[in-house]
Structures are given as C-alpha cells and as structure tokens.
C-alpha cells in the first residue's frame, strides 16, 4: 500500500469517528437549547409521578408550583401537575385560614373543588391527600 493511500485511509477513518462525535454533540446541543422548564430534573413529569406514587404529597406540591404560575407543561401530563397543585392548595389553604385571610382560604378551597371535579378518576388519591392534611394537624393537636 502506497504511503499516500495509507495517509488517506487514516484521515478518512478520523473523519468518520469525528463525524459521529460531531453529530452526537450537535444533537445534544440542539436538545439542550430547546429544553423546556418542565423537563428539568427537579420538575420533570417523572419526578412528580414518583413523589405521588410514594405519597410524598408535599414534595409533589412543590414541584407542581411552576404549573400554577403558568409554566408551560406537557398537555398529556397536566393531570399530574394538577394533583400537585391540589396538595399545595391544601397546605396553604390551612395557613391562610389560620392567619385570617379567609378570602384566600376560600379561593384555595374553590380551586381544590375544581380540581376534584375535573379529576374524578383520582378521587382516591385526592382523599389520601385530604387525609394527610388531617393527620398532619392531628399529629400535633
């Protein structure tokens, strides 16, 4: 094999390897640039789902808060974020009530009723959330 041919083959092999690396890097860059807030590690759907499955409603509530302020979420996963919102409304509703903000407490109750109505399939889980609040209050009284 001539020297030139050998050099050509080496450069060609390097081109192929680097080409694969380049394409993967390009895809990673494009994916990261088109990232959506709800896909970040701390608020992604799978995280909310995990916490709901573990009945860790407080954490699910926190992770769903961005949805409450109008953050873009995947339409198919909206229900999960609503469940988290329900838990958040439970927690803060009680605080508003205790601190004398009756109107805000009623707003939270109204939002909870709305979510309950929209998500009849999740009634059992919502009942568990209600129960968790009762337990939290009962634990210290």
List CB contacts of 62: < 8 A, sequence separation 6 or more.
84, 88
For other proteins, which residue of 1, 41, 76, 98 counts as binding (CB under 8 A)?
98
Q: Should residue 37 be labelled a site residue for other proteins when binding is judged by CB under 8 A? A: yes
Q: What angle do CA 141, 124, 105 make, to 5 degrees?
A: 50
CB-nearer residue toward other proteins: 80 or 129 = 129
Nearer to other proteins, 44 or 68 (CB): 68
Does the protein bind other proteins through residue 131 (CB under 8 A)?
A: yes
Tell me the CA distances in angstroms from 123 to 53, 67, 112, 113, 118, one per residue in order: 14, 21, 12, 11, 10
* Strand ranges for 1-139 from DSSP E: none
58 vs 79 by CB, closer to other proteins: 58
Give the residue from 53, 76, 68 showing the smallest Cα distance to 128: 53
Which tokens belong to 52? 């709901």
Applying CB under 8 A, does 28 fall inside the site for other proteins?
yes
- List interacting residues with other proteins (CB under 8 A): 4, 7-8, 11-12, 14-15, 18-19, 21-22, 25-26, 28-29, 32-33, 35, 37, 54-59, 61-62, 65-66, 68-71, 87-88, 90-92, 94-96, 98-99, 101, 104, 128-129, 131-133, 135-137, 139-141
């Amino acid at each position: 094999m001539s020297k030139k041919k050998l050099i050509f083959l080496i450069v060609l092999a390097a081109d192929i390897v680097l080409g694969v690396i380049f394409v993967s890097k390009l895809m990673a860059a494009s994916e990261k640039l088109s990232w959506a807030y709800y896909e970040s590690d701390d608020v992604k759907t799978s995280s909310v789902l995990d916490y709901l499955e573990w009945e860790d409603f407080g954490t699910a509530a926190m992770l769903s808060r961005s949805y409450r302020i109008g953050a873009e979420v995947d339409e198919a996963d909206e229900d999960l974020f609503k469940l988290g919102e329900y838990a958040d409304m439970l927690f803060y509703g009680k605080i508003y009530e205790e601190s004398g903000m009756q109107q805000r407490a009623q707003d939270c109750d109204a939002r909870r009723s709305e979510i309950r109505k929209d998500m009849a399939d999740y009634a059992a889980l919502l009942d568990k959330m209600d129960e968790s609040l009762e337990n939290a209050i009962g634990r210290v009284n």
